[in-house]
């Protein structure tokens, strides 16, 4: 899809993904925020994340990686944002959750 970059001196058109222009499907952009007892943060941030992804020209998806939250993050998310994927871990794996999520996506 062509995109326009404006500067004070000129305007240039750039092609951000030539494969899409050729009619081929592009890659999927996956956003994976890490959550631990962050229900209030999810409530505050999810609308903005979803709006940003909806305005993206690429295929997108949003996953929440949860590190064994003890709050109502999962219940709230499933009730208010059923389109968002939930990956829950039985223990807090801190940042290692990302590695596990990426490994499961690759297989």
Tens of pLDDT along the chain (107 residues)? 334 333 344 444 434 444 444 555 677 888 989 999 999 999 999 999 999 999 988 899 999 999 999 999 999 999 999 999 998 888 887 877 677 777 776 55
| CA 32/CA 15 separation, integer angstroms | 26
- pLDDT given for residue 53 in this prediction: 92
Instruction: Return the ∠ at Cα 88 (arms to 107 and 35), rounded to 5°.
Output: 110
Beta bridge partners of 34: 65
Helix or strand run (H / E) with residue 30:
strand 28-31
Predicted TM-score (pTM) of the model is 0.68
Tokens 């690759």 correspond to: 106
Tell me 82's DSSP state. Answer: T
- pLDDT given for residue 28 in this prediction: 85
Asked if residues 4 and 13 have their Cβ atoms less than 8 Å apart, the reply is: yes
- pLDDT given for residue 58 in this prediction: 84
| Residue among 88, 96, 42 nearest 67 (CA) | 88
């Amino acid at each position: 899809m062509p995109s326009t970059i404006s500067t004070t001196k000129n305007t240039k058109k750039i092609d951000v993904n030539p494969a899409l222009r050729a009619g081929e499907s592009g890659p999927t952009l996956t956003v994976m925020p890490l959550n631990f007892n962050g229900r209030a943060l999810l409530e505050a941030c999810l609308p903005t994340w979803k709006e940003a992804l909806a305005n993206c020209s690429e295929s997108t998806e949003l996953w929440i990686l949860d590190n064994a939250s003890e709050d109502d993050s999962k219940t709230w998310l499933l009730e208010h944002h059923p389109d968002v994927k939930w990956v829950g871990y039985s223990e807090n794996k801190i940042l290692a959750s990302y590695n596990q999520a990426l490994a499961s996506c690759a297989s």
